[in-house]
Amino acid sequence: MDSSSFDEDTITPGWVREIGEMSNPFQNVKLPMTSRILKYSLFLSNLLIFILGIVLMSAGFTVSAEYASANGLAELFQDNYTALPVFVGVAGVILSFVTFFGCWGVVKESTTMTLVYGILLTLTMISLLIAGVFGYLYRDAVDHYVEGQLSTSLKHWCHSNPEPWDSIQKSFKCCGITSPSDWSDKADDFKFWAYGYVHYHNGTHLNENDFPENPVPNSCCVEISDGCGLMKDANIHKDGCLAKLETNIGENLSYVAGAAVGISIFTLFGIILAFFLFRKYRERNYSNMD
């Protein structure tokens, strides 16, 4: 098929063409120089905003995917830290979609679509700004919240569902909350299970004399093997998970919140151009009606 057969009427939805055509009966009237400068400036800023929307979407969904699958954080913290990244990711999708109205309004010199674009971009900017501010405020509460959740989950550790702690300790190469001894001092259920494993587990190669003073899960071991955390002189990670989790969550929140605030500020430039150009289109329409 000849490439010349593809035109804007072919690839553009009919309802969009109708809006553009109905809202601009003066499309063939030449714009003054200042309006043309605004027009092409808005078109270029639109392309940049579209790219920034993709960046924002990637940032939000990447962080939320990390929390949801890789580190067991979503289950341990009950999705409290995935809400903001998901919201920001969705906002990035919306922002990229909104730029379509801006580009089409510029191409068609459509008063209506340029106004719609300015309004939608303003609403998106406000949403991103609020999300970014909440992200920074929430970051300040990370330390207290994370420590409380870790303490609660360690105290109620259950052998039937060890995955959250195992996943975190493997991913962050850590053990316990602040040190490996937390598994003996604060996790009674784990300690009872560990003793039972040594005494009653069939086929174990362990005996009572090998049992360490502070047993830990296998996920604490530098080189993981069956029962490695229940052996004396086991090679385990010495650092607690609290500091590493606080750093990871704090950095990710800062990353997502910073992207949201920074991009929302940049969109202000597009909003100003859109409303200025809308005004110029309207002035042209009125002057040609006289």
63-77, 146-160, 203-217, 236-250: range with highest mean pLDDT = 236-250
Q: Give me the pLDDT at residue 160, please.
A: 64
Average pLDDT, the chain: 77
Distance CA 237, CA 179 (A): 9
- Which residue is listed with tokens 């151009």? 273
**241-289 vs 33-65: helix axis angle to the nearest 10?**
160
- CA torsion 264-268-269-272 (nearest 10°) is 160
187-216: pLDDT as tens digits: 777 877 777 766 665 455 555 565 677 888
2-48: pLDDT as tens digits: 444 434 444 445 544 444 444 444 444 455 566 677 777 888 888 88
71-130: pLDDT as tens digits: 566 667 766 677 788 888 898 899 888 887 778 777 777 788 888 888 999 999 999 999
Say whether pTM exceeds 0.85: no
Q: Give me the pLDDT at residue 151, please.
A: 87
pLDDT confidence bin for 279, thresholds 50/70/90: confident
Distance CA 254, CA 40 (A): 34
Let me know if 154 is exposed, middle or buried by CB neighbors in 10 A (0-12, 13-18, 19+): buried
Give the residue extent of every domain in the chain: 32-143+244-289, 175-238
For the segment 232-257, the average pLDDT, to the nearest whole number, is: 86
Percent of the chain scoring above 90 in pLDDT: 8
